[in-house]
Amino acid sequence: MPELRVNDFTGIHSENSSELVAEIMRSHLMRETTNIFINGHKFFRHSRSFVGNRIRWTCAKKHSSSSALNDIYFGAFLYYPDFGEEGRMVITKTGCKSLMLGKYYYNGRQNAKNKHWRWYCAKYHRGCKAIVITNIDLLAKKYIGKHCHSPPDQDISGVKPEEPTPAVIPEGEALSKAPNIQRRSTLKTRRSAEQA
């Protein structure tokens, strides 16, 4: 997710370049409200907006199926994922079919409401709670949570890596490295001697 900075409250520019990624506008209809537009998506300031030194912004279409993202936070920095990012199905190194969205893999497709699918991060069982909701064309509609790990390797060729060749260990040395195996064999010989 890119980090963005404020430039004189006229717009939000990318940290690495002067490219304008968000536009800040004031509405003059019923009352003066400040809205921001990011990639064509309109956000307005939430009524309970102040969280520390940040302002909470809500998607104007948050109750619609075309909602970009429910909430973003805007202060010294603004974090947002790429709206409408298109995913693709890939075969991972282990041979599993996964959704690749950005640099991350997602598994466990479940049906969500209104013909949308819910995908869990591939590292869900290792503690990552990041979730993405896509439409049936695998277009990202909503991100829930953040990844607690760095992106995996980008090798999605489907070719399994070569298995490492096992080291040849002499039998006596292997038993000395595994004392439990040696102990079990000793117990078996004692039991067989007692039974005889």
Residue with tokens 């595994």: 178
Q: Beta-carbon neighbour count of residue 82 at 10 Å?
A: 13
Q: How far apart are CA 196 and CA 174, in angstroms?
A: 30
pLDDT single digits (tens) 122-157: 888 888 888 888 887 788 878 888 888 888 764 444
Q: Please determine, for residue 37, whether its predicted confidence score (pLDDT) is greater than 60.
A: yes
Tell me what the mean pLDDT of segment 166-189 comes to.
46
pLDDT single digits (tens) 83-126: 567 788 888 777 878 888 888 889 877 776 677 888 999 888 88
CATH of 88-144, one of 2.20.25.240, 3.40.50.720, 2.60.40.10, 3.40.50.10420: 2.20.25.240
pTM of the model: 0.40
DSSP-derived letter for residue 156 is -
Tell me what the mean pLDDT of segment 159-165 comes to.
39
Residues 175 and 181: beta-carbon distance below 8 Å:
yes
Compute CA distances 136 → 55, 64, 90, 140, 141, whole Å. 33, 16, 16, 10, 11
DSSP secondary structure, 107-129, as one string: EEEEE-SSSEEEEEETTGGGT--
Q: Where are the alpha helices (DSSP H) in the chain?
A: 171-177, 179-195
| Domain ranges (residues) in the chain | 3-79, 88-144
